[in-house]
Chain A
C-alpha cells in the first residue's frame, strides 16, 4: 500500500477555504495527546489555552496587543512570499527598528521635546527596518546570494547589536546595572486607547496596514506584479515586469513593517529598550503569514489566533505549570499541518496497492 499524490485539474477553492480550519483542528488533537503525555488534564489545558483568555477584558486587550506586531510583520512577509522570495529575518528587522526608534527616545530623554518625537521614532524605525531588509535583498539581486541564509544571519547580528547598546552606551545609569535603557518619556510612548488598559494606538496602525495591503494586492498594478512574479516568473518576464525591482520592493516594505512593529512594541507595551523584547515575533509571523493564506484578512485572523496561543500559553503556565515551550511546539505543529493541508488544494491523496507485475525499472 502506498500514498500517492494526484494533481487536481484545478485548485480546489473549497479546500483553500477550510484548510486552515482542518489544520487547527488537527493541531488541537495533537496537543491533546501531548498534554496527556505531559501528565496534564487535556481538557483543562485546552480550556486554559483557548477559552480562558477570551473571558476577561484584560486578556482580550492583551491578545490585540500581541497580535499587533504579528500581523504587521506577517503582512510584510506575505508580500515577499507571494513574490516567491524568502525573507526569514523579520526578527532582526524588528530589533533594528526598535533600536533606531529608541535612539530618538534616548537622545530626547529629559528634554522638553514636543509631540514630534513619537512620529519621528516611527519614521526612523521603519526606515531602519527597510534598510536592514535591503541588505539580503541587494545581496540576492546583485550577487545571487541566498536571501534565506543572509537574512537569518542578520537576526543574530541585530540581537547582539541591541545587547551591546543596552549594556553599554544606552544603559540607564539609575537602572541598578540591569541591561535596559531608562523608561521612555511620555512623548516617546505609544498612547493607550483605553485609560488604564493595555490596548494602544499600535493596534489601529496594524489595522490600517491590513487595509493598505488588501488594496495593494487587490486593486493595484504593483500588487498584481508581485503575485505574477511569484506564481509565474516566465509570464512576468514576458510581461516586462522587473523582478529584481520587485524583490527589493517587497523586502523594503516587509523590513519597514517589521521595524515599525519593533518600535511600537518598545514604545508601547514594553516602555524601554532591553534584550528579549520579542518572544520570537519575527518567526511566529512566518506561521501567521501561512496560516492566513498570504491574504491580508486571513493574516489578521491568524495573527489574533496565534496571539491567543501566546496568552493562553502564559495562563496555562501559571495555572497548570505547563512549560512555555509547549506554545512553540504548538506553533511548529500548526505550521506543519497548515502546509500539509495546503497540499490538498493542489493534489488529491490516494492510497494505491501497487501491481506486482509492473516492472520496477532497471534499478
Chain B
C-alpha cells in the first residue's frame, strides 16, 4: 500500500472521531505525494481551530482597469466615440452594450473595478457643442461651426474643429477649461457616473482623470490620476490640465496640484504614468527635465506621488527592450519603438533606457545612492487606454483602441498612425492589459491602499492569480501547505515590499505561486527577474527560470536554458489546447548570487503557453489573409511589482 493511501485512511479515521480531532498545523503535514505519515508529529502545534481566525489577507486578486477614455475625451469624442462613462461602467459590470459602430459587445467576465480617466484638457467639449450648449454658442467661431452643422455641413464642421485644435487656433475662450461652467459640469458628470456605478463589495467605480502632458512634437509624459475619495471630495477641485493658463506640461506641477488637492480636501490621490515607450527618452530622466536637474527633491516627490507604472497597454508593452536586455529571450514582446506618440520624431537607441520599466527600476536604485530616495520605486499595473468608452483587452473579443479599429475585415491591414517618420499598423495594437490588486476588499479605499503599498501586478489581459513574497526564511515546506499565502504574509513581505537587514549568511528567498486564468491557457514558466547595482556602480540584470510546466519531461539543458514549452496554436481556427504547460506553478526560490552589500530588486514574470493573438481571430472570423510579419500568436504574461533589497547604510 502506498504511503499516501495509508495517510488518507488514517486521516479519514481521524475525521470521524471528533473528540480526538487535532487542529492541524499549517506546515509539515500537507503533502500527500511521497512523504510518509511521520510528518503528523507536527500536529501538536496548535493554531486556532478556525483556519480563518486572524486571517486578513485576500483570497483572490481583483482585476480591473485604471485607464479608460470615453466620448468626454476630446480626441475620442471628435473621432467618433459616443459611449460615455456610464456605458464604460455598465460594460465592466458584465452587461451587453452596443459599440460605437453599432456592434453588440459584452465582456467575457465582469471586472472588479474600473477608473474612467478622460483627458483633463478640453474635457467634455464636443458633446456639449454638438448638443448646442448656449455657453459655447455665445462664441462667434463656435456659432459659425454650429451654423455650419445646422446648414447641413456637420462633417465639415467636425474637421474644422479638429484642425483648429491641433494647430492651436481653437478659441481659448470656449475651450473647456477649469473654472468654466462647462468644465465643472463635465467633471461633476464624470463623478456622478462613478458614484452611480460604485457598489462597494461588488464593483468599485473609481474617480480619476488623465493629465495628458505632451512635450516637443508629441513626446508622451501622460499620467493618470486616481482618487481614493468619493465625489464629495473629488468635486472640490477641477482636475489639473496641461494647457495654459491653468495648466502645465511639467510633472512637478502635477505633483504640486496633487499636494494641493490633498491639503485642501484631506483626500488621497496617486498618479500612474504610462507609455514611456512613446516618450522618446523623457519618461524616466536621470539628469534633468524641463531645464531643472533631477535631484533629491525630484526623487522624493516622484516616489511619493507615482506609486505605480502602467507597463502594458494597447500601445505596446514597456517592460524592457531587446536592446536593453539582450539575454532575456522573452524581451521582444509587443514592442513599439519607432518614434514618439505622434510619430513625428523617430526613436534613437540612446532613448530606450529612459523609457522602459526595468531600466528605470535599475536607474532608480542608482539615483538612490546619490539622493537617498529612489524616484523609480514603482509597482506595476497594466490597463487598456481604450478610447472606445469601454475596456477591450480580450484576444477573442478585441474592439481595438479607437473607434476606427472596431472589428471589421480591413483593420488587420490598416495603418494606425502614418507619418513621414514611419507607420504603426493597427495589427501592432495589443489587446492589453489589466491592473490587478491584492486588496482586502472590493472598495475604492481598499483598492487604493493596495495600490499605495504596490501590492499589485500587471497582466497583458489574462486573469492569472499570482502571489509573490520575499523574506529570509522561506523553505520548500512553505509551499506544501494548503495556505501558501499564510506563510507568505507571516514570514515575508508581499509584492511591492522591502527587504532590509539581511541576516548574516542568508540570501533572500521568495515564495511564488501562479494559478492560470480559470478559463485561460496553461502556464509555461515562472521567472524571477533580478536587477542590481554592482560594486562598480553599474546596473546588472538576470532572468531566472524558477518553476515551469511539464517539469517531468522538460529540464534545462547543459547551459541552463529551459527548452521552449512548444505550441498548440492552430492559426487557421484561432484555437489552442491546454495539453502543454501546467495549470498551476508554485515554488520557493532563493537568490544563489546574493551579495548583501548591493542594492537589488526582484520581480516575478509568469508566462503562458502560446495562444492565438487577436489578429488570428480576425483572420479566422473575416476570412482575410494577414500580410507577412503580422504576429498571430502571443504569450500572455503577468508581471508582479518588485520587492526591493536595500543594504544597511
**Bound pair (A, B):** no
